[in-house]
Structure 1
Amino acid sequence: MIRTLCFLVLLSSTTAWGRVSLWSEGRNGTGGGSGDRCTCDAFLPSSTFPIKDLVVVEQTAVEISHKLEMEMGKLEEYETKLTVYAEKIIKLTAEIEIMEKNPDDYNDADMEDMKVEIKQMEALIKELQISVSSSIAIFESLRVQITAMVETLNKLEKTYDKNLVLVTRREYIKVQIQLEECERRHQELFNPNIGSCAHTGISRVSKPIVSHLNAHLSSDHKFGGWGKDSKPIPDRETMYWFSGSTGASIGDIRFYTNYKNLILRNHFQHHVLHSSWTGTGNNFIIRDNTLYYQDSSPFGLAKLNFTTMKYESRVIPSASALFSYTNSPGQNFDFASDETGLWVTYASEESNGLMIIAKIDEPSFGVVEEWMTSVYKPGVSNAFMVCGILYAVRTIDMHTEEIFYKYDTNTKQESYVSVPFERFQDKFSNLDYNPTDQKLYMYNDGYYVNYHLWFNHTATVAPPTLLM
């Protein structure tokens, strides 16, 4: 009876977050009348579970989901308006051309009617521009909220009961996917210039979009990279890849069918590189289902085709292992992919550390042409290619990077620019541009981070004549 009562007391005293040891009869199991009393050793946590934080996260997820549903509805309206506006612009353009060819057939009243139609069209387009700007601001605001959510969830999951947090994490993943879909639809509608090089360069970089801590869920895996295939094979257009390590090397790589599975850390392939194929540095990329990276031995270029599992390597005799990016050891070869093909940059002793751009022929894996720049590689934090133009990045302060230099291989012209953008954490080991979505992908102290890019376009899809 005493044992039963003791057990019931233990059950009633145990919280959802604490544990109680097995009950015992007596202090030491000896006589002295102690057998009529039980002693219980309770081990409770030093702090209670912050359920309020979890409730706030859940409420935030519901609010964000509701906002995203509203934005998706707006995007459908935008799509309809764009179709109508495009038809009106085509009709107006045709009428103006007829009037220009036969001016004598029209009087002042006809001209005034046409001016009114143009003004009305301008007002409609301005209204749409304001709506689009409002949506972009909402997306950025939601990104900030989601970033705060995942930080709270990571903290709770690491410190407290993982099973309890898992339900809320599912809500977070659902919201993340909704936002990705919303942004994709927005991009399709309002960025028809993807794949086009009809621009004069980068004009702006978005705030950092933080996706998740790496697949190892460890901030110790500071070295690595992530992103999408820059020239995806059929049925792998939505695929993401990741490789991370505690050191500046690459020994394996994971593939995810889509963004959802990247967030869930649910890979469909995990390739461990053969010991003779492992590489150094972190500026590797995936292009045409092929990994391009820096070879360890011999020092040079390497590629591994995951379709055929064929490995190849090449040596550039003049390339030096003495010159790497600031704060990034072993980054001697930096692969890049853009709208025009495959590239690699490096420095040599003959160039005194100045960066050299090399165009790579993909089938032969040979260097087609080279360009010498005047930027010193050890003074650069990273670099990438867009439309045949090299963009070099440097660190300004603890939170800010700056695109400060560009070299156009098409014209052999170089210039200094200033396009600042924000880092998420202190240091990053990988920064690459992907032409399929015009984003920068950064691996920043163990976190997946990406940025939207804006360009100074010299040509647009719709006639610009009616815009003020």
Structure 2
Amino acid sequence: MMSLLFSVCVTTVFLTSVFQSVSGTPCVCELKNLVRPFPFSKLDNINRAASQCNGNITPKEMKEASGLMLGLQSRLKQLEESVSVLEREDDGKLYGAVSLRIIELELAEVLQLMLKLNETLRSNQRLSEKTIAELQGMLEDMQNLEDFDYMQVVKKQRENQRMKRDLDRCQNELQATAWPPTASPGHCPQGQLVNVSGPRTYSLTQYGTSYPYGAWGKDPKPAPGKEGMYWLVALTSSSVYANYVRQYNSWSTMMVGVGPTDASISSSNPTTNTIQGPNVVMYGGALYYGCYNTPYVCRFNMSDRTVSNVALPPNTGINNKFPFAYLDLAYTYTDLDFATDESGVWVIYTSPENFGNIIISEVLAKTPPVLGRNWKTSLHKRTVTNTFMVCGVLYATRFLNKETEEIFYSFDTRTGIERYDLRIHLKKMQPNVQSLNYNPQDRMLYMYSDAYILSYNVIFSDTLYA
């Protein structure tokens, strides 16, 4: 537009100058700018406000409260020691009077530190509130200045940055662990676990969102004629207990909630043989789960509706003592986690004697069940969100964010080797994972997540490019 106006003006001047040479009439060229002038003064004000904000918030202000807090902790510890000495050595005479005076002076110092700390915290709070208001004002002013971005340069830059972040995240998700510590192909016929893809399926159960805790999957060793059957257990009592298992003849009937059959374990919740906790599995036509209020493994035979059990080692953690967890959130009553793989059934738990670190035990599929060998790991159970087994290798997950769970740890029961550096990502559709189990028949992971059921393809080294 500016070049066009200039061209018109030059032409007018030229033509008028020719006319002036004939008639002597003066020529005037008037240039009109149709674009609003850019408010440089407003931009300068924003720059000054930003500089002033940086000057007000310095490391000194941030460190002052921390220093006072450390000083207060030190004084309180010293005061506690002085009181302990007085309690041990008070003679009721001069020594006791002197010690009391020292404690009185220490209390006065503690009080002064607390007053100063409170004032510092109030000052920092006022500074934070003022800064938030200033930042909000600067944000609004900058958004108004974007109206002058006629070529939409800023908008395109933001879109490019957002696209770059999405591409980087996608690239990270595609990266698999180079050498995961699974067993050799001779021990695990399908090769090494290298990645997990999906989710392949994602759906609400027939219960809707009413029951966020539960488990589901397929029997790795089904009875003849039941190879396509799916099972589902939802904790229908306070997200802690369940007293029946639901079965569907196929995936399609499960998705539409048609024709389920329920096998009742007990008449009500909670009572003897009630399911406690969401981490249950089906193997060989029997459901394995944690018995109600006892450190026992329960085995519910689906065909004759009988329950048998075996005791776990003494002092095994139950009743929400050692649940799976992350940050400040714990998955309630997940003390016992059951898993299946190529060799059978496993139970994952812990005890105070093992300092809360995970213990793995074989569960021999007999009636009643029998505990086999066990292994102790160095992985603390409350740092884990869930576990599963593949070819005798325990894998543990942790919470990265609402969209991603990470398989970060493994323990090989054959070699005893532990690894903490796996980086296999699971893409989630809901924030939490209440149960996770591997089925060696279809090589899939089955997840129960905030009332949703999901499945994932487990990728092994010999099937990576299939």
After TM superposition, the structure 1 = structure 2 runs for residues 193-272 of structure 1, keeping only pairs within 5 Å, are 197-198=188-189, 201-216=192-207, 218-246=208-236, 247-272=239-264
Amino acid of the structure 2 residue aligned with 1:235: G
Say whether residues 1:378 and 2:399 are aligned partners.
no
Does structure 2 retain, via aligned residues, the 8 Å contact 1:198–1:458?
no
Match of residue 349 from structure 1: 352
1:110-129 deviation digits (Å, cap 9, x = unpaired)? xxxxxxxxxxxxxxxxxxxx
Identity of aligned residues (%): 32
Give the distance between the partners of 2:186 and 2:428, measured in 1 at CA: 26
Say whether residues 1:331 and 2:334 are aligned partners.
yes
* SS of aligned partner of 1:283: coil
After TM superposition, the structure 1 = structure 2 runs for residues 6-405 of structure 1, keeping only pairs within 5 Å, are 197-198=188-189, 201-216=192-207, 218-246=208-236, 247-274=239-266, 275-316=271-312, 317-321=314-318, 322-326=321-325, 327-363=330-366, 364-405=368-409
Sort the Cα spacing of 1:454 and 1:460 in 2 relative to 1 into closer, same or farther, 3 A. Answer: closer
Amino acid of the structure 2 residue aligned with 1:243: V
1:175-212 deviation digits (Å, cap 9, x = unpaired)? xxxxxxxxxxxxxxxxxxx9981366321111223332
Amino acid of the structure 1 residue aligned with 2:317: S
Sort the Cα spacing of 1:431 and 1:195 in 2 relative to 1 into closer, same or farther, 3 A. Answer: farther
Alpha-carbon offset, residue 267 of structure 1 = 3.3
Give the distance between the partners of 2:195 and 2:307, measured in 1 at CA: 38
Sort the Cα spacing of 1:457 and 1:414 in 2 relative to 1 into closer, same or farther, 3 A. Answer: farther
Runs ≥4 residues deviating over 4 A: 458-461
Give the distance between the partners of 2:195 and 2:397, measured in 1 at CA: 14
Does structure 2 retain, via aligned residues, the 8 Å contact 1:210–1:447?
no
Does structure 2 retain, via aligned residues, the 8 Å contact 1:342–1:359?
yes
Give the distance between the partners of 2:291 and 2:259, measured in 1 at CA: 25
1:282-335 deviation digits (Å, cap 9, x = unpaired)? 000111110100111433210100112221122212311211101311111111
Alpha-carbon offset, residue 458 of structure 1 = 10
* SS of aligned partner of 2:262: strand
Does structure 2 retain, via aligned residues, the 8 Å contact 1:211–1:263?
no
Give the distance between the partners of 1:334 and 1:252, measured in 2 at CA: 18
Does structure 2 retain, via aligned residues, the 8 Å contact 1:214–1:448?
yes
Give the distance between the partners of 1:411 and 1:296, measured in 2 at CA: 34
What number of residue pairs does the alignment pair up?
267
Sort the Cα spacing of 1:345 and 1:229 in 2 relative to 1 into closer, same or farther, 3 A. Answer: same
Say whether residues 1:429 and 2:461 are aligned partners.
no
State the TM-score, normalized to the length of structure 2: 0.55
Sort the Cα spacing of 1:215 and 1:460 in 2 relative to 1 into closer, same or farther, 3 A. Answer: closer
Sort the Cα spacing of 1:459 and 1:209 in 2 relative to 1 into closer, same or farther, 3 A. Answer: closer
Match of residue 63 from structure 1: none
Amino acid of the structure 1 residue aligned with 2:257: R
Does structure 1 retain, via aligned residues, the 8 Å contact 2:281–2:289?
yes
Sort the Cα spacing of 1:200 and 1:418 in 2 relative to 1 into closer, same or farther, 3 A. Answer: farther
Does structure 2 retain, via aligned residues, the 8 Å contact 1:383–1:432?
yes
Give the distance between the partners of 1:374 and 1:457, measured in 2 at CA: 30
Does structure 1 retain, via aligned residues, the 8 Å contact 2:235–2:278?
no
* SS of aligned partner of 1:207: strand
Amino acid of the structure 2 residue aligned with 1:408: D
Amino acid of the structure 2 residue aligned with 1:357: I
Which stretches in structure 2 are left out of the alignment for 5+ residues?
1-184
Amino acid of the structure 1 residue aligned with 2:390: V
Which stretches in structure 1 are left out of the alignment for 5+ residues?
1-193, 462-468
Sort the Cα spacing of 1:195 and 1:211 in 2 relative to 1 into closer, same or farther, 3 A. Answer: farther
Give the distance between the partners of 1:209 and 1:244, measured in 2 at CA: 21
Give the distance between the partners of 1:334 and 1:456, measured in 2 at CA: 27
Give the distance between the partners of 2:235 and 2:417, measured in 1 at CA: 38
* RMSD across aligned positions (CA): 2.3
Say whether residues 1:441 and 2:446 are aligned partners.
yes
Sort the Cα spacing of 1:348 and 1:200 in 2 relative to 1 into closer, same or farther, 3 A. Answer: farther
Alpha-carbon offset, residue 272 of structure 1 = 2.4
Does structure 1 retain, via aligned residues, the 8 Å contact 2:242–2:274?
yes
Alpha-carbon offset, residue 248 of structure 1 = 2.3
Amino acid of the structure 1 residue aligned with 2:350: A
Give the distance between the partners of 1:442 and 1:455, measured in 2 at CA: 19
Match of residue 79 from structure 1: none
Does structure 2 retain, via aligned residues, the 8 Å contact 1:214–1:244?
no
After TM superposition, the structure 1 = structure 2 runs for residues 410-429 of structure 1, keeping only pairs within 5 Å, are 410-416=414-420, 417-429=422-434
Does structure 2 retain, via aligned residues, the 8 Å contact 1:228–1:239?
yes
* SS of aligned partner of 1:262: helix
State the TM-score, normalized to the length of structure 1: 0.54
* SS of aligned partner of 1:405: strand
Greater Rg over alpha carbons, structure: 2
Match of residue 458 from structure 2: 453
Give the distance between the partners of 1:450 and 1:401, measured in 2 at CA: 14
Sort the Cα spacing of 1:459 and 1:255 in 2 relative to 1 into closer, same or farther, 3 A. Answer: closer
1:374-421 deviation digits (Å, cap 9, x = unpaired)? 111000000000000000110111211111010111111111211112
Does structure 2 retain, via aligned residues, the 8 Å contact 1:442–1:450?
yes
Give the distance between the partners of 1:305 and 1:286, measured in 2 at CA: 10
Alpha-carbon offset, residue 438 of structure 1 = 0.6
Does structure 2 retain, via aligned residues, the 8 Å contact 1:393–1:404?
yes
Alpha-carbon offset, residue 245 of structure 1 = 3.0
